Amino acid sequence: MTTPVTPAPTRKSGVPKTVWDLVFTLLIPIAILSPNILGSGVSIANLMGGGTGGNVRAYLLAAFVPVIYVLWDILVNKNVSPVALLGGATALFSGALAFWYVDGFWYAVKDSARPLFTALFAFASAATAYPLFRIFLDAASIAESPQHRAATQVAMKSPGVARALVQATLAFGVVDLIGALVNSVVNYHIVVARFKTDAFNAQVAQANAVMRVPGLAISLIGAAIAFWLVQRAVTARYGKGASLLEPEKLTARLQEAGEL
């Protein structure tokens, strides 16, 4: 039941966004699914009617808390970048799948739907003029000055860099597929109880907790490989020191090359 988190400005409260992400996408859902929250004897499923009905309602609530958080983040911060919209789309997709009441093998598949969706989107976008990793980098350059943003755009349209963006997108998609497979295997071995039971909800919470760090690590590895491929192409085209993450140097190199 993992849900992607969309980039957004830091809240005025001063609490880092990563803390809010952790609270709303992991801690609250785990607490809702727990049959005994922190040993207090309190169970959200029991508070919601108990029995199979209470377990189903608690399961749906745990599934929708991250979805609502992601969508609220987009609407409140008016973040309509392609990355945010992709995050919103995957959140809605995850929310819709919450009503697919399955357990065992099919639950393991369902819980891996987000990385599968992202991987398929990446593969499809690789055949277009705007592969997914280019969208990511383009969104990251929104806050740059017009001149620096123009330099980033010119660099990404360079034939060698453009090919690297396609390769990076495919690599990112492959790693997401690997992440989906790992997540499915973990869920298949942990979530063995029948749907609508206390044990099922507890095992879902356990699987989410177990996969949080490995899932994040796999995503970071995919992003790192993708960026390495792009950076290698940028260096080959514009020389050592040129980087999409350092727009000042990139702008200078483009001006030297007469491309800006």
Long-range contacts of 170-173 (CB under 8 A, 24+ apart): 170/122, 170/123, 170/126, 171/222, 171/225, 171/226, 171/229, 172/122, 172/132, 172/133, 172/222, 172/223, 172/225, 172/226, 173/118, 173/119, 173/120, 173/122, 173/123, 173/126, 173/132
Q: What pLDDT shows up at residue 39?
A: 81
What is the overall mean pLDDT for the chain? 87
Q: What digits encode the pLDDT tens for the residues 85-130?
A: 777 788 888 889 999 999 999 999 999 998 998 999 999 999 998 9
pLDDT, tens digit (0-9, with 9 covering 90-100), for 157-185: 999 999 999 999 999 999 999 999 999 99
pLDDT band at 1, cuts 50/70/90? low
pLDDT of residue 81: 64
Segment 180-190, tens digit of pLDDT: 999 999 999 99
**Alpha-carbon span 229 to 171, nearest angstrom:** 9
Give CA angle at 199 (194, 200), nearest 5°: 50
Is residue 6's pLDDT more than 70?
no
* Domain range list for the chain: 17-256
Per-residue pLDDT tens for 67-90?
A: 898 888 888 877 656 667 777 788
**pLDDT tens figures, 24-66:** 888 999 999 998 887 888 899 999 998 999 999 999 999 999 8
Tell me what pLDDT residue 12 has.
Answer: 46
Confidence of residue 7 (pLDDT cuts 50, 70, 90): very low
